[in-house]
Structure formats: C-alpha cells, structure tokens
Amino acid sequence: METPAILAFGFYFLVIVVGCFMAVGSASLVRALVGLVATLLGVAGMYLLLNAPFMAFMQILIYVGAICVLIFFALMLARADADGDEADPAPAPRVFKGVLAAMLPGALLAPILLLHPTASHLLPPDVPLADLGRRLMEDYVLPFELISVVLLISMAGAVLLVWERRDK
Amino acid sequence: MNLDLALLVPECAMLLLVAVLFVQALSAGPVSVAAHRWLPLGALAVTAAAVAGLSADGMLLWDAYKVDALSQFFKLCVAGGFCIAVLNATRQPTLEEGKRADYFLFLGVSAWGLMLLASSAELVTLYLALELSSYSLYVLIPLRGRTREGAEAGVKYILFGAAATAISLYGLSYIMAAQQTTYIAALAARDWSWAASPMAVVGLSLFLCGMFYKLALFPFHFWCPDVYQGASNETAAYVATLPKLGAVVVLVRLAAVLHPGLEITTAIAWLGVISMTFGNLCALAQKDVKRMLGFSSVAHAGYVTVGLVSGTAEGLAAAAFYALVYVVMNLLCFWVVARVAVDGRNLVLSDLNGLHRRSPVLAFALGVGAFALVGLPPTAGFMGKLFLITAAWNHGYNWLVIALALNSAIAIYYYLSLVRHAYTEPDENASLPAPDQSAFSLGGAVALAAATLVLGIVPAPLFEKAVKAGMALFG
C-alpha cells in the first residue's frame, strides 16, 4: 500500500473505533446512535479503499440515511428514559470483562491471519456495476429474493409482538 | 433461467398454505373457518405433496437450488413433522384467542424455510433459508401467554441466535475470500486442510458455529434447556424437533467438504463427544421434564455427529435416519407432555407420578418414547443408534463410537426415571387437572408410539431411501 492509502486506512480505522466506543459507552441513547453513525461512515470509507464506491454509497444511503434515522424516530416515539437501569455506569469489573470478551475474537483470529495471509490483489480490481447486477439477478437471484421474505417475516413478527404489548 | 415448478411441488404446497394463513391472519372474517380446524388437513395435503415429490431430481435457479433424493427425504420429514406439530398445537391453552392464525403462519414459514434449506446448494441461500426458519421461531417463543419465562426464553433465543448467525456470516466472508465461491459443489473440489488454506478452515469453522447453534451442539447448547422451559409445551415440541432436521441436512450437505481426517472433522467429532457427555450428565440432575428433554437433545446432537464424521454414504444415511427418528421420538414425548399438562404449565417429574392410573395410554406412549430415547429394541431409537455405530465403526473415529455406547448407558437412568415416575411412584397429584383423555389425545399418542415402534421393527424401506440419498451426495 502507498502512504496516502495507509493514512486513509488509519483515519477510517480511528473513526470506526472511536464510533464503536461512543456507541457502546455513552449514557445518552442519542449520543450512542451518533457513535453508530460514525462507525458506519468509517466502514463506508473502508469500502472506498477497497475500490467499491457503489458499496460505500449504498452503505451511507441505507445504513446512515435510512436505518439510523429510523432508529432516531423510534427513540423519539418510545421516549426512552434517561435514567433507566441501563443508563447507570457499569461497574469496572463488568467493563473489563466486556472489553476482554470483545477483544477475544480479534485476538484469536488476528494471529492466524498474520501468519497465513491469503493470496490477494495488490490493487483492488474494478468491478463494473453491470457485473454486480447480473450476478445478483442470475447466480444469486434466489438469495436475493429470500432476503425480501426474511424482511417481510421480521416485520410481521415485530407487528405481532408489539401489538401484544400495546393492549396490556 | 430454469424454473421447473413440477420439481417444487412440496415447497409450493407449503407456500400456498402460508399464503392462506397470511390472508386469514389479516382479515378474520365472520365466515372463515378457524385456522386450527382446517390447518391439520392442509398440513396433511403438504405431506402428500412431499410424498408425491419424493423422486424429483434436478438443479434449479442457476444451480443454487438442488432437488435430489436427500432434499426430498428431508422435505418429507419436515412436512410430516409440521403436520404433527400443528395437530399438537391446535389445543394450545397458553395461546391467546385471536392469535391462532398468526401463530400457525409463523410455524408454517419456519417449516417452509426448512424445506428451502434442504435444497440449498449454495451457502448464501442456505444461510438465508436458515434465517427464515429462525426468525419465525423468534416470534413464536415469546407468544406464551403473558409469562415471564416466555419473555425470558424469547429474549435469550433472539440474542444468542443473533450472535451465532453474525459469527456464521462472518465466517462465510472468510470462505468467500479464501475460496472465491459459495457453491457447495465447487467448494467440495477445494482442499480444506489447514496446511492448504487456513483462512478457509477458520471461515468454515465459524460458519458451522451457526449450524451447531441450531443443532444445540456443545458449546452452543446453553440456550436449549432455557428456551424449552420458557416456551409453551407445544412451541417447544416444534423448536426441539424440526430445526434440528434443518441443521442436520446442512451438515450432511457440507459432508462433501468434511472428509474424515481433516482437522475440522476431528474438531466436530470432539464436539460430539463433549456434547453427548455433557448433555447426559446435566440431564441427570433435572426435575423439569422439558429441561431434561432439552439436555437430552444436546446429547442427541452429539450422537448425530457420529454419522456425519464417518465420511461414507452409510454414515450420512445413518445421520439422516437418526435425525428423523429423533424427531419422531421427541414429538411423541412432547405430545404426552402437552396432553398431561392440559393447563399449559411446565411439568416436573413428580407430576407424572401415577400416570398409568390416570391415563394408561399416555403412560404407555411415554414409556415407548423413553425406551426409544434410550435406544432399546424394538424401538426406532435402537435401530437409529445401531445404524450410526455400524456406519461409523472402522472409519477412523472408533473412540467416538465407544463414547456413544458409554453415553447411552448414562442416559438410561434419566430416561427411565420418566417411566419410573409414570408407573411405580404413588399418585399424589389429586389436586392437579386430569390429563386429556379425549380420542384426539389418545389417538395421537398411539399413532406416534406406533410410528416409533414400526420404524424400529421395519426400518429398511426408509433407511434405504436415506442410503440412496447419501449415495447421491457422493456422486
């Protein structure tokens, strides 16, 4: 990798990590959500580095533009309590255990990846959008359609469970 | 694009059923027949469609969907199991009125997902079909009245399930990166040893974690007893049986990749041993019948791995056959549990005391179920274990076969304690509601007990089907 690429990688990495800690650590739900938005933007940056601008724009459009805004609306409508159980700062041992658990997968996987790097391209190849679309509509058409069924079922399930709560 | 609807008769029948339920859940018109009245017949029709489609064979949708002997065998098992699960759930005391159509809708979608899973020949499809069947279960489990246990079980299942599928998906990305394909046929031609492609092995191990979660194999078993305990008896009957079929079919399909002697295959064998030992030892201490059955299913997940790691057509056939037997045995035990607990409570072992006096038929059926779970002749459980042992012996995992035999001995104690409570303990449960003695309850129990015995006495026709399915996998 060239120097600008390494600098960009470091920048996106920082955005992701800071965003993560903000998302998990802040007491206010709105702030946590801003952290999540930062993380998602950082990931979009990583897609740009991988020469996948379409993925990056979709990431911003869908995750930041739609899903996070939706969560903001849900927060607003649910009027989450600022001093609920979750808002109290977690005791230090629990924070320690949580960080340890979060590090564990990385600690297990990183040595394997460093010791056995996979053969890879030096520069990310350019995948035309038309190829991507054809793949989705041919080889992967069944999963593509199944995703919509999964979404339908999760929505229907959410409606069924929330209805139950409302007439309590 | 090739899409031959004639090959998809069972799936289409199931989808039609789901579509009707969807309409019914949305608009409960005054003239419509209640879902629990017509659905058993509908489920029977789906089973008939699955029988009709038993010999279908072909590749669909750019080879992502494979209709072969294996998939059709499992589709028939799913359809039959769904039929019994629906019948079992028609008299669910803890389900609110007005939610029956929704309940059956999600049950149907879950079974439909399992049918698609049986035919998936490509990892992304397979992953999504599995998700489809689990999402429906996430909804079903908390639907038990308004109890805390139901909510607790639902939350646990969703959170652990989400974590397990996330791990699975992450592993899938490693497989894609290392092998550049997600088609199982292409993956089978690659080298899966640690020396050749460590990243792919890591990816596959992570991917399998999600399957092991569904199968409740150690160390992904922790949800199992809690969820069975928290879900209503009828929902637990479904959760305990059909999703296991789905996990087994995935593992049988992936057996094309998992040759004996590979590191990952040996790891699965070890997990199998730990799973059966741990499940059996924990089950010894349980008082709640459903918790006990939960730990028993952890042990049975271990038994199934014995067939999977052997790497022969007979081994895979034995695993498939055992999965079917497991489903029948558990549906039988849960049927009795649901009929004895007419008010929908959780049964403890002492609730079964004197059952032979209150309901001799249910007590006998429970006895057959317990004997089958132990693996005593002439029940199906015995034949299933026999096939597993003979298929796996002398294929490099003899220690696994020995562990299976030892574990069956441990399991005798707690399974037979079901029978002991039902037959020899004095009846002190005068204040509890009497077990359901209607023709429906007794007929179902007798039919399931008969199926357990028939599969044990004449297993050959079904086992040969399974062997043919296994042969097809090895080309």
pLDDT in tens, B203-229: 888 898 888 888 888 888 888 888 888
Contacts of A108 (CB under 8 A, 6+ apart): none
- Tell me whether 0.90 is exceeded by the ipTM: no
Chain-chain contact of A168 with B202 (C-beta, under 8 angstroms): no
Q: How far apart are CA B441 and CA B435, in angstroms?
A: 9
Residue A68 DSSP code:
I
- A86 confidence band (pLDDT: 50, 70, 90): low
Alpha-carbon distance values, A32 to A23, A96, B159, B264, B440 (Å): 4, 19, 20, 39, 54
Give me the pLDDT at residue A18, please.
93
Residue A166 has pLDDT above 50, yes or no: no
Q: How far apart are CA A6 and CA A123, in angstroms?
A: 13
Q: How far apart are CA B358 and CA B348, in angstroms?
A: 16
- Indicate the residue type of B233: N
Q: Which two tokens stand for residue B250?
A: 């995935």
Instruction: Tell me how crowded residue B280 is: count the other CB atoms within 10 A of its CB.
Output: 25
Give mean pLDDT, residues A35-57.
91
Judging contacts by C-beta atoms under 8 Å, the chain A residues touching residue B146 are: 168
Give me the pLDDT at residue A109, please.
85
Give me the pLDDT at residue B50, please.
82
Query: Is A164's Cβ below 8 Å from some Cβ in B?
Result: yes
Q: How far apart are CA B309 and CA B260, in angstroms?
A: 6
- Average pLDDT across chain A, whole number: 84
CA B80 from centroid of its chain's CA atoms: 12
Residues of chain B with pLDDT under 70: 1, 28-32, 145-146, 429-430, 475
- A19 confidence band (pLDDT: 50, 70, 90): very high
Give me the pLDDT at residue A82, please.
61
Residue A38 has pLDDT above 90, yes or no: yes
- Indicate the residue type of A153: I
Q: How far apart are CA B138 and CA B130, in angstroms?
A: 12
Query: Is there a contact between B317 and B470 (Cβ–Cβ < 8 Å)?
Result: yes
Query: Is A154's Cβ below 8 Å from some Cβ in B?
Result: yes
Strand partners, B288: B348
- A168 confidence band (pLDDT: 50, 70, 90): very low
- A113 confidence band (pLDDT: 50, 70, 90): confident
The residue count for chain A: 168
Q: Which two tokens stand for residue B215?
A: 């199968």
Chain-chain contact of B61 with A147 (C-beta, under 8 angstroms): no
Alpha-carbon distance values, B341 to B151, B338, B387, B432, B434 (Å): 20, 5, 35, 9, 8
Contacts of B250 (CB under 8 A, 6+ apart): B117, B120, B126, B130, B211
Give residue ranges of B with CB < 8 Å to any A CB. Answer: 1, 61-62, 64-65, 96, 99, 102, 105-106, 109, 116, 122, 124-125, 127-129, 131-132, 135-136, 138-139, 142-143, 146, 177-178, 197-199, 202
Q: How far apart are CA B343 and CA A8, in angstroms?
A: 63
